[in-house]
């Protein structure tokens, strides 16, 4: 099942994608794709619905019909750094002994095809296609063997990053990670039964048609169950929290010489089975 949120920014309604690629409205069933609606029992109830019996929404998703972030009211936007062996190699970093945790502010979250805005004065804004994990059942000190039972679904995340702010301006990585529009999420939240093997999903990103990232979740250092268990040692996880799990090689910082976004470019990115995002880069 592919859950989504559609409509103008700040007024999104819940929906699902039917087998014909049309959006069906879920407003009569749930208030939003958020919080308690992501609990396993609610997901099971939604999966049992006949989409043909739900109101049809006019417009083509991601064309005339805008999609918002596929999860609403995100409480925590948690990210994992240097979690792909081949990405760590391109940055010259050592393989982490434990997962590196940082945050993106929830004010960074936008829809999958919304513009990405360069911060004022930015010269080193970069891209990162990532697998997002959306929590459906909360908890803390979660056992790794039980971790996947806490997942509502998966989505595409673009972990947009300003490298100067992140690395050269002092403090933690967070400074360069949470700027407004730096967290496109979606187009849909795909439930685990439709995703297949999360350890072998192809993922890619292009800028103006040039492919920079072409990787796979197979090169993750710390896999999804381990990440959920690890993160839950340091904070409780709640339904609707998003964990962005790291990026494969091909980021702008890793190019020789480095390549960064200047404004006017179009980023296009996707993960097998989870959909595609398209963002225009605009000046700050």
In a domain? residue 259: yes
**E strand or H helix that includes residue 225:** helix 224-231
> For position 5, what pLDDT does the model report?
98
What's the number of domains the chain is made of?
A: 1
In a domain? residue 48: no
Backbone φ, ψ for residue 44 (5° rounding):
-65, -40
Q: Where are the alpha helices (DSSP H) in 108-216?
A: 163, 192-195
pLDDT (tens, 9 = 90+) of the chain, 284 residues, equals 999 999 999 999 999 999 999 999 999 999 999 999 999 999 999 999 999 999 999 999 999 999 999 999 999 999 999 899 887 777 777 889 999 999 999 999 999 999 999 999 999 999 999 999 999 999 999 999 999 999 999 999 999 999 999 988 887 889 999 999 999 999 999 999 999 999 999 999 999 999 999 999 999 999 999 999 999 999 999 999 999 999 999 999 999 999 999 999 999 999 999 999 999 999 97
Domain that holds residue 207: 68-282
In a domain? residue 143: yes
In a domain? residue 59: no
Q: Residue 217: which CATH number?
A: 3.90.850.10
In a domain? residue 46: no
Cα of 241 vs its chain's centroid, Å: 11
pTM over 0.95: yes
User: What are the residues facing 4 on neighbouring strands?
Assistant: 15
In a domain? residue 17: no
Between β-strands 109-110 and 189-190, what pairing exists: parallel, antiparallel or unpaired? Answer: unpaired
The residue among 174, 207, 182 whose CA lies nearest residue 115 is: 182
In a domain? residue 5: no
In a domain? residue 98: yes
Counting Cα atoms < 13 Å in the Cβ hemisphere of 45 gives 10
Tokens of 100: 């590196």
């Amino acid at each position: 099942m592919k859950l989504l949120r559609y409509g103008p920014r700040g007024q999104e309604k819940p929906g699902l994608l039917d087998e014909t690629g049309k959006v069906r409205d879920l407003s009569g069933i749930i208030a939003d794709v958020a919080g308690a609606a992501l609990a396993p029992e609610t997901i099971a109830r939604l999966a049992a619905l006949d989409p043909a019996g739900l109101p049809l929404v006019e417009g083509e998703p991601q064309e005339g019909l805008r999609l918002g972030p596929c999860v609403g009211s995100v409480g925590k936007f948690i990210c994992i750094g240097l979690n792909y062996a081949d990405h760590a190699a391109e940055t010259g970093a050592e393989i982490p002994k434990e997962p590196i945790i940082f945050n993106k502010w929830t004010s960074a979250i936008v829809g999958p095809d919304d513009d990405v805005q360069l911060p004022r004065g930015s010269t080193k804004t970069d891209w990162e296609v990532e697998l997002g994990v959306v929590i459906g059942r909360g908890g803390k000190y979660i056992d790794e063997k039980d971790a996947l039972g806490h997942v509502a679904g998966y989505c595409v995340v673009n972990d947009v990053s300003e490298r100067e702010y992140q690395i050269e301006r002092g403090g933690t990585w967070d400074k360069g990670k949470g700027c407004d529009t730096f967290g496109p999420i979606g187009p849909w939240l795909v439930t685990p039964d439709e995703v297949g093997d999360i350890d072998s999903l192809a993922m890619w990103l292009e800028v103006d048609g040039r492919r920079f990232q072409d990787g796979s979740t197979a090169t993750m250092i710390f896999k999804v169950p381990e990440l959920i268990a690890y993160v839950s040692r340091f904070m409780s996880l709640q339904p609707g929290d998003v964990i962005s799990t790291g990026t494969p090689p091909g980021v702008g910082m890793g190019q020789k010489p480095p390549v960064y976004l200047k404004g006017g470019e179009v980023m296009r990115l996707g993960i097998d089975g989870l959909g595609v995002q398209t963002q225009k880069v605009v000046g700050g």
